[in-house]
Amino acid sequence: MLKANYRYFFLLLTFLVIGCAKRGNIEGGLKDTIAPVLKMSFPKNFNTNFKGNEIKLVFDEYIKLKNVSKQLIISPPMKYPPEITPMSASKYINIRIKDTLQPNTTYSFNFGQSIEDNNEGNPYPQFKYVFSTGSYIDSLKLSGVVKDAYNKDADAFVSVMLYEVNDAFNDSIIYKQPPRYITNTLDSLKTFTLENLKEGKYMIVAMKDVNSNNKFDPKTDKIGFHKQYVTIPNDTLYEMELFQEQIPFKALKPSQASGSKLIMGYEGNPKDIEAVLKNGNDIVPTVITQVADKDSVNIWYKSIKADSLQLAVKKDKFNQNFTFKIKEQKKDTLSFSAKQSKELPLREPFTITASRPLVKFDDSLMRLVNKDSVAVAFKTEYDAYSMQLKFDFPKEPLEKYKLVILPGALTDFFDQANDTLTYRFATKNTSDYGNIRVILANVKKFPVIVQLTNAKGEVVASEYSDKALTVDFNALEPALYTLRVIYDENGNKVWDTGNYLEKRQAEEVVYYPTPIDVHANWDFDQDFRLP
């Protein structure tokens, strides 16, 4: 009896060991890296004389759809998006067309990177299903590259569109109708290819279509275009440079922000706006200043007893009157903050920002001294729009400074003067900085703006040249910089964007191809041969 029980126990132990071994073998093996494969489709891919509204795609393994609403590009675009099912794991995809198809037209469904195998997420890249409602498939194509007119890197998901130039065509079509053909760079490409095109004449447009409606909205969308129409077939590689148009100025209804100021939002460029504040027929004195990091301005006014005020705003073609209620609110107080708290870079002026607009300055009540208490000559410059007061003076390395602003030196719009202000700051040694000399070659025309930007794309240093081929950037903080040159076509010393209806391209910007790594105690000559 004991022997029989022992044999049963031995057999049970053997089965358990074998079972464990089998489970271990199932978990092993190579990782699946193979993308799904289309086994069949109904109707078949690249079919002609398409009449139905249902398509079924069958794959060799379970697949899932990822971001299909953003990745799927249908050309020509459909007014009503098709229904794509199922959204869960399956071996097939059903497409139900809800739109009325155009006759004798080749349609392309490009799924981008949206089709993945269910287990490992291996994508079926750029899978296309193509059919024609006519007797043949259009086979011509057009290719190119997308760039940004101002920034070094182009946006992702840029649409490239073709509009057929026929009797119904006009320039305003991009605001009203979808294009005849469309493709998209998606999230990883900066090149594009429009395929399955028919012979003809077209206008080509690139667009960062924020609203995904295949129409141009200047408030939100970037645009790039070619002045000349394109004729297909051709083998030209098109370069599309996108820019954000400067939209016309428009003031939004102001509101009371405090007992001493209004806040007014705007669209476009607020420079040189005229704003007249009235209490009945009496004009109320005002000062306009910017609101940091917002498309708004503050309109400051002195205390006044009134239930409502009127504001007349004018700029360019904009002219509108606003009426709004006011009430008793807490008034702003005068205070000051320093841009540089302890360390003053050798390239920068010392800068303080006021909380209320300043109107009077008395430099005789300001004193700047070094660590030996020797007076240092300085000049002041006040930016009324930003409310910043800058102190410019010849800075010495490894020096300590003290700036004392005595009471009454600064008077604001409300006739309030400052109390005593004291600021202490120091400079570093020249060996803590690096210097770059940029040597330009092959400049097509002057003037040019030469700039260095940081990793965030912010301008760190800028020099204007109307004839010099050598530009110096001294006392730079050690960092990686991007070098660029702007061809200043109109000589206004800023980069100007383009305009689609005026058929005006943005001013040309040329980037040095690689970042420049500035080191401390480092001098470098950088040759920049422009194309």
Q: Look at residue 29 in the predicted model and tell me its pLDDT.
A: 53
Neighbours of 29 (CB within 10 A): 7
3-state secondary structure 295-352: CEEEEEECCCCCCEEEEEEEECCEEEEEEEECCCCCCCCCCEEECCCCECCCCCCEEE
Q: Look at residue 186 in the predicted model and tell me its pLDDT.
A: 87
Mean pLDDT of 113-119: 91
- Average of per-residue pLDDT values in the chain: 92
Query: Which domains does the chain carry?
Result: 39-132 (2.60.40.1220), 140-244 (2.60.40.1120), 250-325 (2.60.40.10), 336-428 (2.60.40.3780), 433-529 (2.60.40.10)
Residue 30 DSSP label: P
Instruction: Report whether pLDDT(407) > 90.
Output: yes
Map residue 502 onto helix, strand or coil: coil
- Beta strand 434-441 with 522-529 is parallel
Percentage, residues of the chain above pLDDT 70: 94
Question: Band of the pLDDT at 304, cuts 50, 70, 90?
Answer: confident
Instruction: Report whether pLDDT(10) > 50.
Output: no
Instruction: Report whether pLDDT(302) > 70.
Output: yes
Amino acid at 102: Q
Q: Look at residue 24 in the predicted model and tell me its pLDDT.
A: 40
Map residue 176 onto helix, strand or coil: helix
Question: Band of the pLDDT at 12, cuts 50, 70, 90?
Answer: very low
DSSP string, 47-103: BSS---SEEEEEEEEEEEE-SHHHH-EEES--SSPPEEE--SSEEEEEEE--SPPPT
Question: Band of the pLDDT at 119, cuts 50, 70, 90?
Answer: confident
Mean pLDDT of 221-238: 95
Instruction: Report whether pLDDT(341) > 90.
Output: no
Question: Band of the pLDDT at 488, cuts 50, 70, 90?
Answer: very high
